[in-house]
Structure 1
Amino acid sequence: MSLQQYREKQVSAEEAVKIVKSGDWVDYGICLGQPIAADQALAARAGELSGVQVRGMVSMRLPAICAIPEPEKHFTWNTWHCTGVDREILRKGCGYFSPMRYSELPRFYRENITKIDAAIFQVAPMDDQGYFNFGPQGSHMKAVCDRAENIIVEVNENMPRCVGDEHAIHVSRVKYVVQGENPVLPEVKGAEPSPVDRRVAELIIDDIPNGACLQLGIGDMPAAVGALIAETDLRDLGVHTELYTDVFAELSLQGKVTGSKKSIDRFRQVYTFALGTQKLYDFMHDNPELLCRPADYTNDVQKVAQLDNFISINNAVEIDLFGQVSSESSGVRHISGTGGQLDFVTGAYLSRGGKSFICLSSTYGKNGSAKSRIVPTLPVGSIVTAPRSCTHWVVTEFGKVNLKGLSTWERAEALISIAHPDFQEELIQQAEQMNIWRNSNRI
């Protein structure tokens, strides 16, 4: 019966996207699951469409609808989280950022988003029971499907089939099935850790006990921590993370990750989406040790709090002397998104023995024009990702400080102590002007 439905619903990409009309809201899903053949077919219809709103996030390829001449006349890209691709779309003037805390995204779709005319995304081939697996991006996809008027799945035989819950859609709910050209999945290979990355990682490693449960954010510094763990004797680690990467797969293959100390989801590695190399995708395929769960589970503060010794490691763009963390913009220039950072910063502190680390290099820019990432106040327009009341540990290559329980002058003193030495005197003067510095600090 399922196979019969499959055959009846199988059409070309060009035929499938004919259901999209001017003014419609279309959802492209997330990351590896964003469509390709259907996206190209929709872009080819641009001349007959206007005001089409498209949602997506963590884009790994420039959507064809944003690569056409004057795309803003036909399509608007709305992204929940920015990669370099999404930033390019925003710069082109045909896209906008949609603020959210990642743990709330499934609820957004079920309660706050009133219109999804079509959901179009890539899936793994249909199984014997008639289900299309979302692959390594459970995230919010089931919530999207629950609300979508029409669902178009684009089958990609290279998409790994991932074990989870809310991880698949049945053929009976699908409007059209498109057999794509089975493109190879995008790969992201981690860069070799810089000396600064490695120094920050060394400072954090001392605070990771055996049996800790790890969450690593996007970026070189969290990846450097993972790489350094591989060189230590740490054991019986657990994984409960938003993003699953090659680092976790490597630690698993080394036997360092067992999940035996987890109080929930024992022996399982929990994540909500994945991005890495083909080696990672092969590791994830039908792997019963991994559990892909929606973002309202993985990023739920209460779930994180139940995991003892939860260690959260995330990047930041800047932090001011009050302890406000900006990880998604520099002034009004958008870079990333809130994602799960606030969820994990909060949840880690509530975990028994848990800690969250905000990592950043002390400076950015080339030699001779370097600027401090620790600033008196965040630049006008910068978004506060983690408020000062939530910030726990902050780490640069010059040290780490715990801001919990500190007054404003103590915070200023602590943060200046891990700023680059070239900027410390200037930061002291600025702290004095803001009345958050004590002269006795110098003694």
Structure 2
Amino acid sequence: MADEAPLYRSNPARSVAPDGQLLVQGKPVQWPQLIKSGQRIFIGSHAAVPHALIRNLLAHCKYLHDVEIVQVGAFGDNAWAETTYQNHFKVNSLFIGGEQVRRAVAEGRADYTPTFMSAVPSLFLDDILPLDAALIMVSPADQHGYHSLGVSVDVVSAALRAAKTVIAQVNPAMPVTFGQAFIHKGQIDAFYYANEPLLELPPPNFDPITERVGQYVALLVEDGATIQIGFGKVCEAALRYLSNHRDLGVHSELITDGIMDLMLKGVVNNRLKTFHQHKCVTSFAIGTQRLYDYVNHNPHIGFYPSEYVNSPANIARNDQMVSINSAIEVDLTGQVVSDSIGYQFYSGIGGQVDFSRGASMSTGGKPIIALPSTAKDGTISRIVPHITEGAGVVTSRAHVHYVVTEFGVASLRGKSIRERALELIRVAHPKFRAELLAEVRKHYYVPNYQKQTPVEVPELGDVGFKELNIGGEAFDLRPLNPSDERRLQEFFYSHTKETLQMRYNSVPTQMSREKSCTLVSVDQSKDLALCIVRQKGSAAQIQAVGRYYLSHDGSNCEVAFVTRETHQGKGMAKLLLDEMIRIAKLRGVQKMLAYVRAENQKMLAVFERAGFRRLPADEPGEVYLALELGNTLSEKQ
């Protein structure tokens, strides 16, 4: 969770009853009978903060001193963290969720305790943070005497089990949710009846950059996957672009309006889940009144405690588990900062590590970190050579498989430090790439011959690649880029002598790292180097490469391509050639040239079917071909 602070709103359509009385066994009591100076109390979390109950406490807190308030994200007015109450209360936040708490932490008036969300319950139950009281919000009791914890079961469930005294605001506006969301009235020591609307979080407005990040994230999610989302605009944007997916499941600490919309469209139906099949599993909900109405008495959504939902072992029981979280910055080794901006603590660890770890353990799982490439109106890069002084790593290098920005997807799993740096520079903002490469050379052993060149081919469309289906197999057609250095070496060494002879007119025996680096470090704004790749998760293998070299005056280009032997004759060369012809035309190139060995009849056929004409050749045994780009078969078709 690393996006900007949210804007909350109350629902003016619902009336707010005046504050009532604290009741124990139906009789009025005063706060000194329940809470004493020096104690530690927990307050309910997220959209289930018992604000009316807390307002009543604040109005009668003059007798209290040095009470520690333990909380996670508490939506709305966190007045207890203001200087007015600093002699009465001190906040210990396990996740910083509001500006008032953030300011108090920065000024030293409040504490921040970093912890995984899955580990928060054990802090209470193991008496590491023993609780004297828990202030929570519940729905009215049903005919069996059970109240529901509603939209926040999360760590509230553990707090009420650990606390010596449970004080509950009974709120008719609280939805009744299922799962492990119930508490019997006999477990509650004091009651406070107050009707107040839950705070709402309006759906975010998406800018083009956020939308593009969301598009790239959605491309990584396969039909039938189970998803988790973190908090913020980037994660919500990803949900928007999942609308055309099928049979998705949800196992997520948080659900929002975006999840609800996918359920209503039938995109999320949970039918292929391998853990809690047919049920959306969550621990808390944040959104609009529409969402709160949707979860009310909804048997298809189960609310469970954080130690259950956020357990990496439970998360991993979902095949194809995809975790989608955001960050403040990512360094070139893949370290993720998401709870602090330099020395300023901003949010918390939350569930990011829990779900990144769980997704990485899942069969076919994908842990994703998604963020815009820049901050502060594009003036600073969020892909950085080293983490900012004072900042802390939340998610380690080994936890993240993918980092996504508006410039594409960096695949980190199984990559060396050098390869990670090149992948991440590729998805950084272009104006920072040269600087990042210069910095990484100082520390991460990227060689001096490694160049920084434009890697985008805008003619391939918004996402920068094309999905292909060849013989029932899925492939991607995309540009070669600097991080393909090792893949191109492997591609070269897969060739037979015959293929090398046909392509290079000789039989080279070595493709050095330096040579491979030169071949993948292509200025794609001038020359063109495309490849067809079989991509399965983080595993990628080049199947075919096509490239053209532009002449000095830009009027013509020389084209060549080579295909892995196992895929020769399947049309890959034709697909590459057609794409290169299309791009060359768009760029105003007038003529394409090719030199092919006379005995390479299959290659000659590919060129001639595309409209190339044979011309006299200077070298015996070689065929010279040319294509006038203003008059091709492709254009006529």
2:42 maps to 27
Asked if 1:392 is matched to 2:408, the reply is no
1:169-208 → structure 2 map (5 Å cutoff) = 169-180=183-194, 182-208=195-221
1:371 maps to 380
Deviation, structure 1 residue 60:
1.0
Seen in structure 2, the aligned counterparts of structure 1 residues 66 and 243 have a Cα distance that, compared at 3 Å, is same
Amino acid at match of 1:376: P
User: Alpha-carbon deviations, 1:323-348, whole Å to 9, x = none?
Assistant: 10001101111111111111111111
CA distance in 2, matches of 1:212, 1:253: 17
Given that 1:10 and 1:179 are in contact with CA atoms closer than 8 Å, whether structure 2 keeps it comes out as no
User: Alpha-carbon deviations, 1:264-319, whole Å to 9, x = none?
Assistant: 10000000111000000000001000000111111111111111111111101001
Seen in structure 2, the aligned counterparts of structure 1 residues 303 and 374 have a Cα distance that, compared at 3 Å, is same
Seen in structure 2, the aligned counterparts of structure 1 residues 411 and 7 have a Cα distance that, compared at 3 Å, is closer
Asked if 1:317 is matched to 2:332, the reply is no
Unaligned runs of 5+ in 2: 1-21, 452-517, 519-637
SS at match of 2:302: strand
For structure 1, which segment, 16-25 or 341-350, has the greater mean C-alpha deviation from structure 2 after superposition?
A: 16-25
Indicate the percent of aligned positions where both proteins have the same amino acid.
33
1:215 maps to 228
Amino acid at match of 2:112: F
2:391 maps to 382
CA distance in 2, matches of 1:128, 1:68: 44
Given that 2:75 and 2:199 are in contact with CA atoms closer than 8 Å, whether structure 1 keeps it comes out as yes
CA distance in 2, matches of 1:18, 1:33: 24
Given that 1:17 and 1:42 are in contact with CA atoms closer than 8 Å, whether structure 2 keeps it comes out as no
1:3 maps to none
CA distance in 2, matches of 1:101, 1:110: 15
1:106-255 → structure 2 map (5 Å cutoff) = 106-165=121-180, 167-180=181-194, 182-230=195-243, 232=244, 234-255=245-266
For structure 1, which segment, 135-144 or 216-225, has the greater mean C-alpha deviation from structure 2 after superposition?
A: 135-144
CA distance in 1, matches of 2:320, 2:129: 40
2:86 maps to 72
Asked if 1:47 is matched to 2:56, the reply is no
2:364 maps to 353
2:425 maps to 416
1:280 maps to 291
User: Alpha-carbon deviations, 1:223-281, whole Å to 9, x = none?
Assistant: 00111112x2x111100001110011111111111111011100000001110000000
CA distance in 2, matches of 1:363, 1:244: 27
Seen in structure 2, the aligned counterparts of structure 1 residues 114 and 359 have a Cα distance that, compared at 3 Å, is closer
Question: Which of 1 and 2 has higher RCO (CA within 8 Å, sep 6+)?
Answer: 1
Deviation, structure 1 residue 114:
5.0
SS at match of 2:30: helix
CA distance in 2, matches of 1:197, 1:63: 29
Deviation, structure 1 residue 112:
3.8
CA distance in 1, matches of 2:72, 2:159: 13
SS at match of 1:113: coil
2:305 maps to 294
Deviation, structure 1 residue 385:
0.8
Deviation, structure 1 residue 436:
2.8
Given that 1:16 and 1:178 are in contact with CA atoms closer than 8 Å, whether structure 2 keeps it comes out as no
SS at match of 1:337: coil
Deviation, structure 1 residue 440:
3.5
Given that 1:16 and 1:176 are in contact with CA atoms closer than 8 Å, whether structure 2 keeps it comes out as no
SS at match of 2:449: helix
CA distance in 2, matches of 1:22, 1:402: 53
Given that 1:310 and 1:355 are in contact with CA atoms closer than 8 Å, whether structure 2 keeps it comes out as yes
Deviation, structure 1 residue 18:
4.0
From the CA coordinates, give the structure whose radius of gyration is larger. Answer: 2
Deviation, structure 1 residue 29:
2.1
SS at match of 1:297: helix
SS at match of 1:53: strand
CA distance in 2, matches of 1:400, 1:77: 39
Deviation, structure 1 residue 184:
0.9
Seen in structure 2, the aligned counterparts of structure 1 residues 171 and 68 have a Cα distance that, compared at 3 Å, is farther
User: Alpha-carbon deviations, 1:189-222, whole Å to 9, x = none?
Assistant: 1212211111111112222221111111101011
Amino acid at match of 1:119: A
Deviation, structure 1 residue 11:
5.2
Amino acid at match of 2:388: P
Amino acid at match of 1:82: I
Asked if 1:328 is matched to 2:339, the reply is yes
Amino acid at match of 1:185: L
CA distance in 2, matches of 1:16, 1:154: 14
SS at match of 1:440: coil
CA distance in 1, matches of 2:78, 2:353: 29
CA distance in 2, matches of 1:173, 1:46: 25
Amino acid at match of 1:212: A
CA distance in 1, matches of 2:415, 2:262: 36
Asked if 1:97 is matched to 2:112, the reply is yes
User: Alpha-carbon deviations, 1:404-430, whole Å to 9, x = none?
Assistant: 111111111111111111111111111
Given that 2:134 and 2:165 are in contact with CA atoms closer than 8 Å, whether structure 1 keeps it comes out as yes
Given that 1:11 and 1:176 are in contact with CA atoms closer than 8 Å, whether structure 2 keeps it comes out as no
Given that 1:215 and 1:311 are in contact with CA atoms closer than 8 Å, whether structure 2 keeps it comes out as yes
Seen in structure 2, the aligned counterparts of structure 1 residues 111 and 223 have a Cα distance that, compared at 3 Å, is same
Seen in structure 2, the aligned counterparts of structure 1 residues 435 and 65 have a Cα distance that, compared at 3 Å, is closer
2:25 maps to 9
CA distance in 2, matches of 1:84, 1:291: 27
Given that 2:78 and 2:98 are in contact with CA atoms closer than 8 Å, whether structure 1 keeps it comes out as no
CA distance in 2, matches of 1:435, 1:245: 40
Give aligned pairs, total: 430
Deviation, structure 1 residue 362:
0.8
For structure 1, which segment, 316-325 or 60-69, has the greater mean C-alpha deviation from structure 2 after superposition?
A: 60-69
Relative to the length of structure 1, the TM-score reads 0.93
